[in-house]
Amino acid sequence: MFQFINTLLIGVTAGSIYSLMAIAIVLVWRSTRVVNFAAGGLALASSFVGAAILEKSGSFWIALPVAMLAGAVFSAFIEYFFLRPLLNRSGEKNQEIFLPIIATLGLLGIIKAVLNFIYGDRIGVIPPPLSDKGFIVSGESIALSPLRILILGIVLLLMIVLTIVFQRTNLGLSLRAASFAPEISRLAGIRVDLIRTAGWAISGAAGATAGILQTTNGSGSIAPESFEFSLLLVFGFVAAVIGGIESLVGAVLGGLTLGIILAIILMYVGGSLVFFAAFLILILVLLVRPQGIIGVKGGRRA
């Protein structure tokens, strides 16, 4: 029982980070209908910014917001200079719809290459800002540590903020409308291009947070060819697909589901099967329930 609760705690923490990555992917998908493979690269680049700021300032609490801002700026930059020209040329009418998707794959490669060029063999370090030693409950150490509480707290806070933005603000209304029907939104006076860039920027900030938390929850260091970030991107995608790719709530549920399942497999079956299991879940969801666990109705509701 003890071990099972620990497994759940580990799964929920990891899953909450996947949720953030999934949110980054869903936001871009909703605002521009682009499957953004560059999201992993953006998270990596912003985490390097975070690590650099942390080195200079010594404060995690300065590094995190700066990394989020950097993620937003990188992401908006990519949308504005690369995706917007591509999207304006390709329409749903022709096969060119896949162009932006291939472009994001290319951008992922470029971002990694640039990071390799800048950092080479050096690594970025983001040590845990709080203790990662588990609390002691009746003589035994459990998987819940101050660090894990912090991670869960940050993710929860971001989700509350996003929900408020989407449900209660005019920007959120515009984001939801523009993603649903850009042409109608334009006619109604929404500045769709600006809103799309805003969607990418929020996505970049979410991805940056996921990157920082993933690093500090894991080995505490990042390299340009970081395997942890490849995992983060893949798991983020799987989580987004489980959640139905349209819905922010779905992304969160998808991330948590994936995190818990993977933790159970890791603990009770074997570490070598984790990657395999993630892809198996992906394929199963696509085959059995392509609309995700939330389903068609209630999607887009944020």
Partner 1 sequence: MSAALLHAKGVSISFGGLKALHDVHLELRPNEVVGVIGPNGAGKTTLFNAMCGLVKPDSGTFEFEGKERAWPSTDELVDLGISRTLQGVGLFPELTVLENVMIGAQKLAKTGLISAALGTNKRDEEVLRDKAMRALDRVYAGTLANRRADTLAYPDTKRVSIARALVSEPKILMLDEPAGGLGPQDIEWMNNLIRNLTATMSVLIVEHHMDVVMSVCDRLYVLNFGEVIASGAAETVRRDPAVIAAYLGTGVA
301 binds partner 1 (CB under 8 A): yes
Candidates 170, 198, 196, 171; CA nearest to 182 is 196
- How many chain residues interact with partner 1 (CB under 8 A)? 29
CB 127 within 8 A of CB 216: yes
157 binds partner 1 (CB under 8 A): no
Query: What is the closest distance, in whole angstroms, from the C-beta atom of residue 281 to partner 1 in the complex?
Result: 27
Q: How far apart are CA 34 and CA 245, in angstroms?
A: 11
122 binds partner 1 (CB under 8 A): no
Q: Which of 93, 136, 183, 287 binds partner 1 (CB under 8 A)?
A: 183
Burial class (CB in 10 A: 0-12, 13-18, 19+), 169: exposed
Work out the widest C-alpha separation in the chain, in whole angstroms.
Answer: 65
23: number of Cβ within 10 Å: 32
Q: How many C-alpha atoms does 83 have within 13 Å on its Cβ side? A: 30
Three-state DSSP at 181 gives coil
Q: Which of 147, 190, 233, 263 binds partner 1 (CB under 8 A)?
A: 190
198 binds partner 1 (CB under 8 A): yes
Site string for partner 1, 48-87 (x = CB under 8 A): ----------------------------------------
Pinpoint the alpha helices (H) of 218-266.
Answer: 227-242, 248-264
Q: Which stretch binds partner 1 (CB under 8 A): 49-57, 114-122, 180-188, 210-218?
A: 180-188
Which is closer to partner 1, CB of 205 or CB of 233? 205
Q: Which stretch binds partner 1 (CB under 8 A): 32-40, 130-138, 258-266, 293-301?
A: 293-301
Would you tell me which residues interact with partner 1 (CB under 8 A)? 164-165, 168-171, 173-174, 176-177, 180-181, 183-194, 198, 202, 299-301
